[in-house]
């Protein structure tokens, strides 16, 4: 091989390494966190930049964690709805999934056995994808009675234990029923409320991202 050819080949090889789909580009991919949930994740009533995924990404980056948080929230989703669209959402192979579903099920009084089965299948799918999981728990309203409340509230800790996944016990912790942290409907956090959620959940996310292999 002539010296002229090898001199020309050097820049060409470097350029090829920068082409889309190259191993170098793949290795440099920004870690992705999939925020998968309902309107609480989607940010119903808020500008996109004030929604939970955007605020969480900003908080993590301010703490030195270079990540991309994808907003895969869909307003009105139940666990049944989430199960039907999860495979598509996992197609980009995120490093971590925050699974936040069940609030709409509880508001509608859906049988806790159905909710448990749906979440169980979603956890299986997420684990099979290779992603880490943070399961965000919910709490049932009191209007369906004590038996319903008991059966619903035990779903999240029991599934987390059975699957060996991290649990954030209550997604709306510190925000639910606090008027100044919610929109006029009393159900969806306002910008300040989302900020409060992020402050509480970010340490869990940081820890899980630090544990990824």
What are the residue numbers of the active site? 39, 185, 188
Contacts for 176 with CB less than 8 Å, ≥ 6 apart: 139, 170, 182
Residue 10, token pair as written in the block = 């050097």
Torsional class of 79: left (φ above 0), alpha (ψ -120 to 50), beta (otherwise):
alpha
**Adjacency order of strands within the sheet including 68-73:** 68-73, 32-37, 96-100, 132-136, 166-168
Strand segments (E) across the chain: 32-37, 68-73, 96-100, 132-136, 166-168
Tokens of 101: 């579903």
Cα(131)–Cα(141) distance, integer angstroms: 31
């Amino acid at each position: 091989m002539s010296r002229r050819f090898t001199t020309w080949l050097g820049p060409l090889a470097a350029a090829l390494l920068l082409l889309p789909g190259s191993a170098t580009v793949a290795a440099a991919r920004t870690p992705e966190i999939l925020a998968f949930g309902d309107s609480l994740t989607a940010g119903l009533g808020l500008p996109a930049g004030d929604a939970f995924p955007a605020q969480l990404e900003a908080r993590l980056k301010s703490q030195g964690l270079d990540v991309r948080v994808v907003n895969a929230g869909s307003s009105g989703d139940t666990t049944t709805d989430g199960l039907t669209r999860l495979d598509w959402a996992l197609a980009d192979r995120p490093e971590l999934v925050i699974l936040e579903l069940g609030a709409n099920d509880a508001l509608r009084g859906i049988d806790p056995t159905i909710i448990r089965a749906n979440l169980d299948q979603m956890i299986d799918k997420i684990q099979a994808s290779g992603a880490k999981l943070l399961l965000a728990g919910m709490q049932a309203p009191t209007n369906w009675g004590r038996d319903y409340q008991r059966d619903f509230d035990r779903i999240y800790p029991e599934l987390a234990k059975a699957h060996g996944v991290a649990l954030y016990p209550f997604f709306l912790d510190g925000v639910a029923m606090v008027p100044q942290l919610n929109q006029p409907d009393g159900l969806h956090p306002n910008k300040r409320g989302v900020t409060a959620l992020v402050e509480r959940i970010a340490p869990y996310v940081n820890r899980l991202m630090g544990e990824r292999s």
